[in-house]
Amino acid sequence: MKVKAANGLVRALKQEGVDWVSVYPTNHVNNAMGEEGMPMIMVGEERHAVALADATSRVTCGKRIGVCTVMSNLNAAGIQMAFGAIAQAWEDSSPVLIITEGVGQGASRHTHFDIAEALKPVTKWVGKIDRADLVPAYLRRAYTQLRTGRPGPVLLIVPRDLGEYDEDEHPYTPVKGWRSAPDPEDVKAAVKALLAAERPLIYAGEGVHYAQATAELVQFAEIAQVPVLTSLKAKSAIPESHPLSVGTRGSLANQRLIDSDLVFGIGTSLFPNRFSHAIPDADKKTIVQCNVDALDINRSYETHYAVIGDAKFTLQALIAEVEAQTGGGVARNNALVDALVAGRQAFWDQYRPWMESDEKPINPYRVFGDLQKVLDPKKSFVTADSGTTRDQTSTVYQAEIPRGYMGWGNVSTLGFSLPAAVAAKLAYPDRQCVNVTGDAGVGYMIGTFESVFRHKIGVTTIHIANGGYAGYGPGFWGPGHDPYTYQVSAYPDVSTAQMAGSVGWHGETVTEPSEVVPALERALAENVKGRPSLIEFVASQHPVHGGWVGR
């Protein structure tokens, strides 16, 4: 049976289990999806179309690959606007399929912009379909890249004038993806080094999530009796109430990293980025790195022991090897557990006064403390935008289930937290889904408010409204590193709650600390009805505490 190229593509996507696509007009593939009955989430801008698909892959840990469409052809404004979102997915190794319209046959001489070449630096693979009957082959190649090896974004370029092909002659077969196991000798050497260390520390990265290996991470930590530090992107890979968890940031996490004599990385690049820890005195520590490929081995630091393979297979092998070398596992280290309990108590002693503060304007830590009182830790999702809100929440918000909190990353585009919360709600309808943003981030998401309302997606946006853009380091407000470009309009001169209310959201402005919990409860109640909420907390310009080691 003959089928138009775009329609055949959509039918193949259905075979891959895609049940909705985030879109922004115009794109002829959108019309094909309408004709084929593929549900679409039409957002307010191209960047959020990519972000919503990206976040879908992240919140499901790759079980579902997010798919999006953006405009291109001779008018490449759409794909150009989406570049930042695609680059974020690339830098964070997030698998997402971006479908854009290619330049028609013979028309490439009419533009200076080469879509494929422009996007190659920020994609794992670019497929430029030039014949209708190659649609199945190119989509198979795309999903092979998306489901195998290091994750990353894939761009599929589909010109409008490809014509038709015969589905019977060129059928589509879904792609399963492939994983590899580590070399047993590498595993033995890594475990021997781990057991010989006096103050080892596991540093878990997002690869643990994508490998569906959070249970194995906990088992490995317990059988080896080693504390676990998570990267920002891996936060929630281990329940943060677990006795061996040291969290992501703060005094306990920082001190454990500083004091360690061996850092055992699993599923992490160990990049000393702006939003991650550097390894202090790395030349005096033993570095073990367990990654899906060799890209980051001997990159930021000398790797003394490398284990290459899928994180789940690697952790399973590590667990078996610890049992083999110790005769069943390391005995419970009561001294270590007691030290971690004391360190955790000191951490909470520092933050609890701010999290319970009655000061006005509201201390943002009071908002985050009350948020944890309201949410069900086993049935909720929280993420925060780039900037101060990310640093504050990633320090004090205690995640208890995988992806109960989602951090991101190596590159952080403002406004991402809203599509992240939307993706979580679509993936887990029974969860309470909350995104936290500040004065900078909220400006990057207002254009998508109408879309969230139109699609009746019940999420809550917390806006920490304090009249300032973020900075980093002591005294960053005003006389910090950007003393001339931090101040913005504040409530009551502007009100995001009123803006959100004007496009159908439930909106509230809160100025009293005692009203934080009731306002959150009202917002979540509206979410149950399918109505999004924005709570504007008039807050103080309270500094970040905790910090990244080496920053």
Strands, sheet with 405-406, edge to edge from the N-terminal-most edge strand: 405-406, 380-384, 432-437, 460-465, 533-538, 506-510
pLDDT of the residue at 481? 62
Whether CATH 3.40.50.620 fits 356-538: no
The distance in angstroms from the start CA to the end CA of the chain is 61
Check residue 183 and give its pLDDT. Answer: 98
Query: What pLDDT, on the 0 to 100 scale, is given for residue 477?
Result: 45
Identify the pLDDT of residue 475. 47
Check for a shared fold between 184-339 and 356-538. yes
- Say if CB 538 and CB 510 are below 8 A apart: yes
Domain ranges of the chain: 2-166, 184-339, 356-538
H or E, element range at 42: strand 40-42
Checking DSSP bridges between strand 245-247 and strand 164-166, what pairing results, if any? unpaired
What pLDDT shows up at residue 473?
42
**Helices 184-196 and 311-326: angle between axes, nearest 10 degrees:** 60
Looking at domain 184-339, its CATH class is alpha beta
How high is the pLDDT of residue 472? 41
Which H or E run includes 437?
A: strand 432-437
What is the spatial distance between Cα 152 and Cα 414, in angstroms, rounded to a whole number?
A: 20
Tokens found for residue 362? 């509201």
> What is the dotted CATH code of the domain comprising 2-166?
3.40.50.970
Q: Please classify residue 3 by burial: count the beta carbons closer than 10 Å to its beta carbon, then call 0-12 exposed, 13-18 middle and 19+ buried.
A: buried
pLDDT < 70 positions in the chain: 107, 110, 470-483, 551
CA–CA separation, 426 vs 339, rounded Å?
A: 41
Written as one string, the DSSP assignment of 156-190 is EE--TT--EEETTTS----------PPPHHHHHHH
Contact (Cβ atoms closer than 8 angstroms) between residue 10 and residue 39: no
Q: Are 548 and 277 in contact (CB under 8 A)?
A: yes
pLDDT of res. 479: 53
Amino acid letter at 90?
A: W
pLDDT number for residue 244: 98
Structure tokens at 98: 């971006």
- 96 and 65 in contact (C-beta within 8 Å)? yes
Instruction: State the Cα–Cα distance between residues 418 and 48, nearest whole angstrom.
Output: 9
**Contact criterion met (CB below 8 Å) for 356 and 366:** yes
